Every structure is written in C-alpha cells, then in structure tokens.
C-alpha cells in the first residue's frame, strides 16, 4: 500500500475510533459526503459492527489488493441498494457480497479514471477489551483521486 493511500484510510479509521464522525466524513469523496450526513455515516459504522462486539479500539488488516481492477469490481453480480439506504436502516440480503465485494453498486462518479485502489480494513477491539472477537467490523473500500487528493470513493461494510 502506497504511503499516501495508507494515510487517507488511516485518517478515516482514526477518526472513527475517536468517534469524530465529521472528521471521518471529510476523508470521503464528494459524492459520498453528499450521500451521507454525519449522522448517517455514524449509523452505518455502528450498524456494521459484528453482533456482540465491543466498540472498536484499533485498526487491523489495512491494505489494498492490486489484483482487483476497477472493471472487475464494476462487473460484480448481486450488488444491491446503496450505502445511503443501508445507513438509513434498509435490510439487505446478508449473502450479497459473500462471494466478493462490492455489496453496494459503485456511485457513477467513481470511474476508471479516478479509481486508484481497492482494499480493506478491520476495526478491532482494543487490546485490553474483554472479548474473544478479533474484529469488530470489516470494510472494503475504493480509493479515488479527486482534484489531486486521495479519498474514499466507495465504502462497503461486510454484511455477514
């Protein structure tokens, strides 16, 4: 993962861990900022948490996958609904995305020209948390370059 790519996603994750959802929203591409209010982003992040998981306390498994191209991700069968609908409480089929992301269709603004990388991260419990879980929530993301700045152009919580 390029340092620039890691910085963008790390800033997003740290803001989420600190519950600074307004700062986390700043790391999203303009089309995601338009689609999600701060409250909707917070609801989405809380809803994506694994049942029974404590609040996340650290980032784990942050990286990109260079074998997945924009074209292959765009062609995934089964993408349904939108991240906005999910944030607002829509029930989605938990099997969508099981055989590979994305679970939600890409926004039209995310294009082959501005797509930079596909990756994933886990938000894990704090080291001192009393739990057997090693993850609180898992996400896939697409990085996009907008006006010379890397940002999160797609965010996909693992629904299962």
| pLDDT value at residue 79 | 62
Helical ranges in the chain per DSSP H: 3-17, 21-26, 30-35, 38-47, 70-74, 83-87
CA distance 62 to 9: 8
Q: pTM to 2 decimals? A: 0.88
| pLDDT value at residue 1 | 52
Cβ atoms < 10 Å from Cβ of 100? 13
| pLDDT value at residue 52 | 85
Give the tens place of pLDDT for each residue, 72-111.
887 665 566 778 888 888 876 666 555 556 778 889 999 9
Nearest to 104 by CA among 148, 54, 156: 156
| pLDDT value at residue 159 | 63
Domain coordinates of the chain in residue numbers?
Answer: 3-157
| pLDDT value at residue 101 | 63
| pLDDT value at residue 59 | 92
Helix (H, G, I), strand (E, B) or coil at 95: coil
Regarding the domain delimited by 3-157, which CATH topology (the fold level of the hierarchy) does it fall under?
A: Nuclear Transport Factor 2; Chain: A, (3.10.450)
Give the tens place of pLDDT for each residue, 18-71.
999 999 999 999 999 999 999 999 999 998 888 888 889 999 888 888 778 888
Tell me which H or E stretch contains 116.
strand 115-125
CA distances to 21, 121, 128 from 151, rounded to whole Å, are 15, 15, 31
Query: What strands lie across the sheet with 149-157, from one edge to the other?
Result: 56-64, 115-125, 137-146, 149-157
| pLDDT value at residue 60 | 87
| pLDDT value at residue 95 | 63
Q: CA 136, 128, 48 angle in degrees (round to 5)?
A: 10
């Amino acid at each position: 993962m390029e340092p620039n790519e890691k910085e963008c996603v790390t800033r997003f994750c740290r803001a989420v861990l600190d519950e600074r959802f307004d700062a986390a929203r700043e790391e999203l591409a303009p089309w995601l900022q338009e689609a999600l209010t701060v409250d909707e982003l917070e609801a989405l992040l809380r809803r994506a948490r694994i049942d029974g998981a404590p609040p996340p306390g650290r980032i784990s498994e942050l990286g990109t996958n260079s074998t997945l191209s924009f074209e292959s991700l765009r062609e995934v069968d089964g993408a349904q609904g939108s991240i906005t609908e999910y944030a607002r409480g829509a029930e989605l089929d938990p099997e969508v995305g099981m055989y590979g992301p994305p679970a939600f269709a890409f926004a039209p603004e995310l294009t082959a020209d501005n797509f930079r990388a596909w990756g994933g991260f886990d938000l894990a419990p704090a080291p001192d948390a009393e739990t057997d879980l090693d993850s609180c929530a898992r996400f896939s993301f697409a990085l996009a370059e907008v006006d010379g700045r890397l940002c999160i152009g797609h965010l996909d919580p693992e629904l299962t």
